Amino acid sequence: MYRFSVTICFIFASLVIVLFTLIISDNSFKPATDQAAVLVQDLTAIRIWIVVAALALYSWKSATKQPRGQFLAVVTAVAWIMFLEDYMVLDGVLIVASQPLAQLVILTRPIFLVALTYVAFKQWEVDLI
Amino acid sequence: MSKHSNKDPTQPSQEELDALLGSTSLFSFQSVRASLDRRSLLFKRTYIVLMAVTLLYVMGWFTGLVKPYMVFAITGLEADYQLHQIRFLLAFIMITIGTIALNFDWHVEETFSTMAWIQVYFIISGVGRQWRTMSEDNLAVIVIYVCNLLLILSLLVILIIEERRLKSTAS
């Protein structure tokens, strides 16, 4: 179950990276308003680096068998905060297009959050033992 | 025969159960003051400053004194106002969680470390957004914004370092 959840997290992160790369490079992603256009640029520019950094750090910590409960707790908290911000403020921004990939990311996001939370709790248990 | 005595040797007695529950950190509730008294003077003062900053901010917000200096007052974006409200609420939730962690003396260092990293996220995302959105005339607002957030971050870092020091001296 732990590995399955980790796999879900990796797949979601990959989808997000691909989506954000498309948003930056492809003009077909048109936000609804000018305000949304500004926000989506800002958010994608920052968040893509957060996702990449989190993936790289997790992989490095896993490979070197370092404790990563604290790291996962931080990543989980930030992921939930991003979700809250998107849901309450930026829903008209991130739900930018009827692109299948964007819809896939939106649909799989709750699954990712649950999986990430599970991984964080499980890892915390492992680190304590 | 005592009513608490137990004939079955495989079942724990009431005294054993009490001892087990008593040793569990989840039930070791204490006041924040007692928890602070066990820590260094610097930790105590930093925590009080953190609370004072929070209180001043609430007072400034509800009296309307800080509103002209807020980002949304300059950008005029509704999203900035909403983001501020959400982050303000999240900060209060984090302070509550930190206080609960102190109350129970449960993973204090880890709790404040997580809070510090979330603060780092707020700084990076907030400054990144403003840097692209604001004109150079409003650079002072970005500087004030960064100083405010860095003050809170530095207070959190002091708390983490002091808690780590307490742990290392205790072990």
Q: Give which of A45, A89, A124 is closest to B88, Cα–Cα.
A: A89
Contact B117 A78 (CB under 8 A): yes
pLDDT score at B27: 46
Q: What is the ipTM of this complex?
A: 0.77
- Secondary element (H or E) of residue B71: helix B71-75
Contact A74 B118 (CB under 8 A): yes
Q: At what angle do helices A100-128 and A2-25 cross, to 10 degrees?
A: 140
Preferred mutation among A24, A33, A35 to probe B, highest tally of B CBs within 10 A:
A35
The whole-angstrom separation of Cα B169 and Cα B161 is 12
pLDDT in tens, chain B (171 residues): 444 455 666 677 777 776 666 555 554 556 778 888 888 899 999 999 999 988 888 888 888 887 777 777 777 777 778 888 888 888 888 888 888 888 888 888 889 999 999 999 988 888 877 777 666 677 777 888 888 889 999 999 999 999 888 888 876
pLDDT score at A1: 86
- The per-residue pLDDT for range A38-47, each reduced to its tens digit, is 666 666 677 7
pLDDT score at A92: 56
Give the DSSP letter string of B52-63. HHHHHHHHHHHH
pLDDT at A16 over 90: no
The whole-angstrom separation of Cα A37 and Cα A40 is 5
The whole-angstrom separation of Cα B15 and Cα A87 is 51
CB-CB contact of B30 with B105 (8 Å): yes
Burial class (CB in 10 A: 0-12, 13-18, 19+), B95: middle
CB-CB contact of B148 with B53 (8 Å): no
- The separation between the first and the last C-alpha atoms of chain A, rounded to the nearest angstrom, is 19
Burial class (CB in 10 A: 0-12, 13-18, 19+), A111: middle
pLDDT score at B120: 92
Q: Compute the Cα dihedral for B55, B47, B127, B138 and give only its sign.
A: positive
Average pLDDT over residues A60-78: 87
Extract long-range pairs of A83-86: CB within 8 Å, 24+ residues apart: A83/A109, A83/A113, A84/B86, A84/B90, A85/B83, A85/B86
Preferred mutation among A39, A40, A52 to probe B, highest tally of B CBs within 10 A:
A39
Contact A70 B113 (CB under 8 A): yes
Which of A35, A74, A88 is closest, CB to CB, to B86?
Answer: A88
pLDDT at A23 over 80: no
Give the CA distances from residue B97 to residues A58, B31, B171, in Å, rounded to whole numbers and listed in that order.
25, 14, 25
What's this model's pTM, rounded to 2 decimal places? 0.78
Residues of B in contact with A46 (CB under 8 A): 124-125, 128-129
